[in-house]
Structure 1
Amino acid sequence: MDQLSQVFAALADPTRRDMVARLTESDATLSELAAPYDVSVQAVSKHLKVLEGAGLVTRTRQAQCRPAHLEAEIFDLMTKWIERYQRQAEARYQRLDAVLDELNGRDQTTMEGNAS
């Protein structure tokens, strides 16, 4: 599976999305990440491993703890992918607007011709 697919798959889970949101504020240990959830530390550890596998999170060793750190650069990959499709959608809407403007202009001409 390519990295972009792994990132979107990892973020498909609401718990993992919440963990990522919390990691935007600061690095956190496993127990800190697990605190607000009504699940085991092992379950949170599995979520963290999915985020690590997708490249969203890295863990470092600081003394006895291993805080999780959000790798913000991975969001550049997602942003570029989203922006590409956003540009394509905007171009389609602009073409649609042009067609509608043309049709509206024809309608105005027809209505003016009928009013005479």
Structure 2
Amino acid sequence: MSGVFQRISSIWREFCKRRAYGALIHPDGIAAQAEELARLADLALRSTAALSALECRHLAQLAQSMRQLRETAHSPEFCRLSADRRLALHRQLLTAREKLLASLQKTQISTEKLQ
């Protein structure tokens, strides 16, 4: 009988997490974050002047994987992920965005006009 109560308790906790973080962990929100990160990676790839081949490859892979994540976000498998895993993914995407923006601020951006 205690197994039934534990199962009901876990379902209730999952429901509460999905209500509290609904917009952040919704597949549309995750897909939008992934698309934004892919666009930032493409922009960084095009606009920075002094990138090594490894950095270029890393940015291209990041853009490609974010586009795959955007497509996967609406799959039934993604919808079955727990709220904790989706929230962790949301936080990882935020961290990746912050790191990409920080690295872009450190590099020189190529412009057509002399500064």
> TM-score under structure 2 normalisation?
0.27
Structure with the higher helix share, 1 or 2: 2
Larger radius of gyration: 1
Structure with the higher strand share, 1 or 2: 1
